[in-house]
Structure formats: structure tokens, C-alpha cells
């Protein structure tokens, strides 16, 4: 297997030159024994990038993927395909996880918790009256009325 990194993307080729990434159904040789799969997080699901038969080979692929894309959430899992399945049913066990959010490389993209709602005091059947506004209008009216009275009566 050869692993190359170009332009920040992981390109992995097997000995025969085929691209094992985006594998939907592994062939019959991949279904035997324990395999190791490299996956990356996409939203709430995981996309399988490659399936390798040996643990060392899987660990090398995982290390190369972390170096190539350090800002992605990646995991290496051990896969045991169920008998009689076409590769869609399997049991798995986590081997390694690369989560850049825990190391502070990228911000946490989960939605923030909503602010707690303010409690509104129960009303007693009356609306709240803007007392300062009314007092200001009354005082302004009194001053204006006094000014008009002084101007008209000539004091």
C-alpha cells in the first residue's frame, strides 16, 4: 500500500492501484478476518474512506490521514463482518479517534444552548404604566402653560 498526500487531501492506493476509498461493498477477500476501516465524520454519520486487512496497515493509513487533514474528525475502527452479509452488516470496535475540537484546532460547531427565558412577573390585571413619561409630559405642559401665561399677561 502506498499513501500520498497532495494539496492537503489524502490519496491512498492499494498494491494493485485501485482506490479503496468510498468503498460501499468490500470484496470477498476483505470480508474474511478482521479488517480496519478509516472513517471521517460527515454531520451525524460516518463515511468510510478505506478498509485495510492489517492493524499496522490501518494505523499507518490513520496516521497519514491525520497528518493530511488535521482539522477533520477521523476514526480507525476494527471491523468484523457478519457471516452471510454482503459487507453492509458488521460489528466494530473503536481503535483510535482524532477529534480536533478537543485539542482546540477548530471551534466547536455544535449549536449554542439557548439563553434561559426571562420570567415575566404575573400581571394583576393592569398594564404597566410608563410613570416617568407621564410625569415628564405633565411637567412640560405646566412649564409651557406658565410661559404662555407670562407672555400674554405681561409680567
SS3 track for the chain: CEEEEECCEEEEECCCCCCCCCCCCCCCCCCCCCEEEEEEEECCEEEEEEEECCHHHHHHHHHHHHHHCCCCCEEEEEEEECCCCCCCCEEEEEEEEECCCCCCCCCCCCCCCCCCCCCCCCCCCCCCCCHHHHHHHHHHHHHHHHHHHHHHHCC
Question: Looking at 5-19, 41-55, 110-124, which range is the least confident one?
Answer: 5-19
Q: What are phi and psi of 28, to 5 degrees?
A: -65, -35
pLDDT interval class at 141 (50, 70, 90): very high
Q: Is the pTM of this model over 0.75?
A: no
Amino acid at each position: 500500500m502506498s499513501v500520498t498526500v497532495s494539496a492537503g487531501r489524502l490519496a491512498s492506493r492499494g498494491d494493485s492501484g485501485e482506490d479503496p476509498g468510498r468503498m460501499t461493498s468490500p470484496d470477498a477477500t476483505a470480508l474474511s478476518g478482521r479488517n480496519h476501516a478509516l472513517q471521517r465524520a460527515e454531520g451525524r454519520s460516518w463515511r468510510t474512506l478505506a478498509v485495510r486487512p492489517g492493524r499496522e496497515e490501518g494505523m499507518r493509513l490513520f496516521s497519514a490521514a491525520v497528518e493530511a487533514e488535521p482539522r477533520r474528525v477521523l476514526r480507525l475502527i476494527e471491523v468484523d463482518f457478519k457471516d452471510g452479509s454482503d459487507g453492509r452488516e458488521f460489528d466494530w470496535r473503536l481503535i483510535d479517534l482524532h477529534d480536533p475540537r478537543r485539542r482546540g484546532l477548530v471551534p466547536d460547531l455544535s449549536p449554542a444552548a439557548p439563553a434561559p427565558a426571562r420570567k415575566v412577573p404575573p400581571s394583576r390585571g393592569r398594564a404597566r404604566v410608563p410613570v416617568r413619561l407621564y410625569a415628564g409630559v405633565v411637567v412640560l405642559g405646566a412649564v409651557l402653560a406658565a410661559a404662555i401665561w407670562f407672555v400674554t399677561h405681561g409680567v
